Chain A
């Protein structure tokens, strides 16, 4: 017998992807060069709402290197409408969404014309020579104003109200009537929070190449969703799905921002079809910020009912969610993903969620890391602090008395979900210990007493989230247009090497490493002998791609099932080879043996025997491959306790995070290094919402944060050293016990930071500060003055150049 190898699952392996990524050896979409390739540049509307009364392309067409200039009129008959896969209600209003505007533009940045040229330089030059006449229409930006329907984004719809979606615990039979709870409550707290608009700001800008040679269309795209993209491109263009191949090569981040079927992907395909030549489009950073979908942008009115002893009884959520000008792939469903999460880990008797989706003249919103769940977590964690303040209670105590106890799992919530497992007590205890909670409270009291210039605050976020998207029947009930299963294949090669094919589509997460670790353990083959293939619809013919922290919990489970199928077949063949009863065959460390004997067959020998097929059991097919598709019964529910200490400089309003503890329970961890990386990155993005990032528009609807000089993405220098740890309560809904970790940090951290800042200055009379909590906003609140808005002091540099009319 071979010695038992050290298990791969749980090992902090360096990522096998990284060498090619950090040395620049990989080939990104924009690196592709095809013979005869044309380059596409996109002219974008400078105005947010206007009728197009004329487009003159004659000068541009005559420019050097230009093959053709195309307008919306040229595509009017063939471009159809970009797909929205989530009609959340039967009566949802959904305007046609042309990839290239034909007679009206509805947001600044919308594509209006294309230059197709022999180089990206010639294409960019010719853009400036296209003359478009716009006849201005009234610009609709504010959601509450939009709902008055005085000015309409889409006059044909007759309203700016897209849809209203309601969950009511009494109607659903999951709880009581929230109005009764509010009427009977000893304490009622009402607050309104604003979730500012955010830009996903992935590192690699979007890029598309389409090759139309040999009767096939091959689409390379920096996308999270090659499989969905293929399906949707086929549906929109009528090109047979079998004639479309989509490849997502290495992709430099997405954060939900590449969970999209983009106008530019469709346009590249249409241009390649029209020209019969390969076409490439790669966006600039500013184009990305103007035209790629944004995230968040909600106004949340929250009513919480409680008893004087701190017991919460009812929660009413009234949301306005900004769709922007069009419904992209899952735009209307993003706020709905939050509907089941506002109650979070707490035991409410009654709950009601009502969300009204609103059209405005802004770029569409859609998924951004957390998608609906950060908004929900923010609102409930802010409200728990507000309740603690109202009742003069310790904020952790009030959470503890209301959360689901570990012995109460599985627990069906007032929103109708069944949380399978969790241990909020354990995660909290560990976090409090790491944080030094009591010492920090003492320090805080000392500074308050001293009237120190720099005050200290402590913020709590005890969160949960729903991951592992998703049980297909639940998606169906929510009117989503697709399923939530995932698939995997294992091909045992005759030399003993293993090819793993996954329907997930990693874009920075490290699936190649983690999937290899899982298979190495399951089949007893060396980690190095496993190759993971992904992101190409020709090799992985089906899949639902990567988003919603689903890949490991759903795709990893499919992989385990495929491995088990391989082993089952191999066991039968091994028994045949060793001439024993299958029931006597044992498998360990990559070898089969006959119980109680020294007879052994290595898996590799069994695979080779299956491959040559010289002597197989009666009826057994040659080869040793297996496919499996897994559709989960339930979501998974990561949870954890995050604690944040901030210092607030009361003279400047500057906020500094001085300690941040994240104790997460993401179930079984396959690779702790990758999990830490996901938590760190997630924290950075959640903290960024609290303190730094906001997409702002001027009154004309022009995005005023279209460069990284204005849209402040923090870097390592702006963030503290994170103290992370984990508790492990395995998920019961999949054999790995994994829950998902991609979004946890983002979901948990925003309210922890905001609660902390407010805790630092509440005794100075501050009740709330809008996000992002810029120094100006904090200082202004400390003066007792109204919120100054995003202000014009975010940056100088390029921002001020722009403001000064392009001087240099």
Chain B
């Protein structure tokens, strides 16, 4: 498992990283925790000419309170996400999803932003980012811009990030007091999901006031089950009403369609508590 030769760069500021990315051209690649990129390099599925290691950009780590939302640094590790109090209190779904990512070693190296940029439709963090209306804050040669999750995930392993751009932070609205659950079906502990469903629900006086549902690995990117979400609003938070609404997660009769419905029902039921 020997990668092809590459140039290794270690910027100390975001501006320097952006400049390096522009100088090295389209065959350069940003490396964050390396948990997806390094295997790809070692198997020579990709051979970037330069790796720009943003591991030294400490301003990209950690979670900050930003009023109505949280700002999660792209280089925040999964391990940090799992243990962050702000995330626990205001974006519980992200914690629960992150708990299921790979194994402890990978969670210590892998990063929140890296997973989103890798955009593997089987990756766990895409669906909750989409369902929770996350916004990506991106730096490039012409300054900063914001892209919503729904526009960020374009296709298999493809995002709206231009080759000369870097993801800095992810803004996630606060979902304080929402119930949440991630229902994941994988064959062995270290395997990716066959299908998984991320659900967050706000219940008020026994009635579902709002719901967010994102599906992992049912298409070329994360899928938001908007029909399920809208069908749930105003219904009593009972197994029967959830089950009926969850049926809208898919219309097909294949195995994954079935899983989408079954796991959506289970995720919502658990989220309601």
B and A form one assembly: yes
Measured CB to CB, the residues of A under 8 A from B are 120-121, 124-125, 128, 284-286, 651-654, 691-692, 707-709, 712-715, 717-718, 774-776, 779-780, 788, 791, 793-802, 804, 806-808
B46 interface neighbour in A707, A779, A796, A806, Cβ under 8 Å: A806
15 A-B residue contacts at CB 8 Å? A121-B5, A128-B4, A692-B188, A709-B191, A712-B187, A717-B189, A791-B255, A795-B187, A798-B39, A799-B192, A801-B157, A807-B158, A808-B36, A808-B45, A808-B118
**In the complex, are the beta carbons of A715 and B122 less than 8 A apart?**
no
- Kindly list chain B residues whose C-beta atoms are within 8 Å of the C-beta of A712: 187-188, 191
Please report the C-alpha to C-alpha distance between residue A128 and residue B118 in the assembled complex, in whole angstroms: 26
* A283 to B: closest C-beta gap in Å: 10
Contact (Cβ within 8 A) A652 B185: yes
Give every chain A residue within 8 A of B259 (Cβ-Cβ): 652
Taking a contact as CB atoms under 8 Å apart, the answer to whether B4 and A125 are in contact is yes
CB B26 to nearest CB in A, in angstroms, measures 13
A804 and B158 CA atoms in complex are apart in Å by: 11
Taking CB as reference atom, which chain A residue is nearest B253? A783
Q: Does B256 contact A (CB under 8 A)?
A: yes
Which residues of A are found within 8 Å of B44, using beta-carbon distances? Answer: 128
List the 7 closest pairs (A to B, CB-CB), nearest first.
Answer: A796-B122, A796-B192, A717-B189, A124-B2, A808-B46, A806-B45, A807-B157
Chain B residues whose C-beta falls within 8 Å of the C-beta of A796 in the assembled complex: 120-123, 192-193, 217
Residues of B near A791 (CB, < 8 A) are 255
- With both chains docked as a complex, state the minimum distance between the C-beta of B56 and any C-beta of chain A, in angstroms: 22
Which residues in window 1-54 of B have CB below 8 A to A? Answer: 1-2, 4-5, 29, 36-37, 39-40, 42-46
Please name all residues of chain B whose beta carbon is closer than 8 Å to the beta carbon of A692 when the two chains form the complex: 187-188
Cβ-defined contact, B191 with A802, below 8 A? no
Q: Is the CB of B194 within 8 A of A800?
A: no
B42 to chain A: closest residue by CB: A284
Q: How many chain B residues touch A (Cβ–Cβ < 8 Å)?
A: 38
Contact in complex: B43, A774 (CB < 8 Å): no
Nearest-CB distance from B30 to chain A (Å)?
A: 11
* Per-residue contact bits, chain B 230-264, to A (CB 8 Å; 1 contact, 0 not): 00000000000000000000000001101100110
Cross-chain contact of A125 among B5, B122, B156, B191 (Cβ < 8 A): B5
In the complex the two chains form, is A797's CB within 8 Å of B122's CB? Answer: yes
B142: CB under 8 A from chain A? Answer: no
Q: Which of A779, A799, A808 has the most CB of B within 10 A?
A: A808
Query: What 12 new A-B contacts, CB under 8 Å, besides A717-B188, A800-B192?
Result: A125-B4, A125-B5, A284-B2, A284-B42, A652-B262, A653-B255, A793-B194, A793-B256, A796-B122, A800-B120, A800-B156, A808-B36
Q: Given A717-B189, A808-B46: A801 and B120 within 8 A (CB)?
A: yes
- The answer to whether B43 and A286 touch across the interface, beta carbons within 8 angstroms, is yes
User: Distance in Å from the Cβ of B261 to the closest Cβ of chain A?
Assistant: 9
* Chain B residue nearest to A651 in the complex (CB): B262
- Chain A residues, Cβ within 8 Å of B43: 286, 707, 798
CB < 8 Å: which of A121, A285, A775 contacts B194? A775
Are A798 and B123 in contact, CB atoms less than 8 angstroms apart?
Answer: no
Measured in the bound complex, the distance between the Cα atoms of B118 and A36 in whole Å is 42
Task: Please name all residues of chain B whose beta carbon is closer than 8 Å to the beta carbon of A691 when the two chains form the complex.
Answer: 187
Contact of B40 among A653, A788, A795, A798 (CB under 8 A): A798
Min CB gap B238→A, angstroms = 18
- For A41, give the chain B residue with the smallest CB separation: B2
B190 at the interface (CB under 8 A from A): yes
A807 touches B4 (CB 8 A): no
Residue picked from B36, B118, B156, B188, most chain A C-beta under 10 Å: B188
Cβ-closest chain A residue relative to B40: A808
Give the chain A neighbours of B193 by CB distance below 8 A.
Answer: 796
With known contacts A808-B29, A808-B157, A713–B40 Cβ distance under 8 A: no
Q: Is the CB of A807 within 8 A of B191?
A: no
Tell me which of B185, B217, B255 has the highest count of chain A C-beta atoms within 10 A of its own C-beta.
Answer: B255
Partner of A795, one of B37, B42, B191: B191
| Contacts known (A800-B156, A807-B158, A808-B37); A775 close to B120, Cβ less than 8 A | no
Q: Determine whether the beta carbon of A804 is less than 8 Å from that of B156.
A: yes
Q: Are the C-beta atoms of B1 and A285 separated by less than 8 Å?
A: yes
Bound-state CA distance A801–B263 (Å) is 25
**How far does the alpha carbon of A432 sit from the alpha carbon of B101 in the complex, in Å?**
38
Known contacts A780-B255, A795-B192, A807-B156; is-contact A120 B2 (Cβ 8 Å): yes
Q: How far is the CA of A713 from the CA of B189 in the complex (A)?
A: 10
Pick the contact of B192: A121, A709, A717, A718 (CB < 8 A).
A709
Whether the pair A284, B1 counts as a contact (CB closer than 8 A) is yes
CB <8 Å contact, A776 and B4:
no
Contacts of A120 on B, CB cut-off 8 Å? Answer: 2
Which A residues are in CB contact (< 8 Å) with B255?
Answer: 653, 776, 779-780, 788, 791, 793
Tell me, rounded to whole Å, the shortest Cβ–Cβ distance linking A648 to chain B.
Answer: 14
Which residues from chain B contact A707 at a C-beta distance below 8 Å? 43
The answer for the CA separation of A284 and B41 in the assembled complex, in Å, is: 13
Q: Which residue of A lies closest to B259 (CB)?
A: A652
CB <8 Å contact, B256 and A718: no
For A128, the chain B residues whose CB sits under 8 A away are: 4, 44
**Minimum C-beta distance from A786 to chain B (A):** 13
For A794, the closest partner residue in chain B by CB is B187
Inside 8 A of B120's CB, which chain A residues have their CB? 796-797, 800-801
Q: How far is the CA of A559 from the CA of B190 in the complex (A)?
A: 43
Q: Report chain B residues within 8 Å CB of A121.
A: 2, 5
Shortest B184–chain A CB gap in Å is 11
Greatest chain A CB density within 10 A among B123, B157, B191, B258 is at B191
Complex contact B45–A800 (CB within 8 A): no
Please state if B157 and A804 are interface contacts (CB–CB under 8 Å). Answer: yes
User: Which B-chain residue is minimally distant from A706 (CB atoms)?
Assistant: B43
Instruction: List, in ascending order, chain A residues with CB within 8 A of B185's CB.
Output: 652, 654, 775
CB closest residue in chain B, given A801: B45
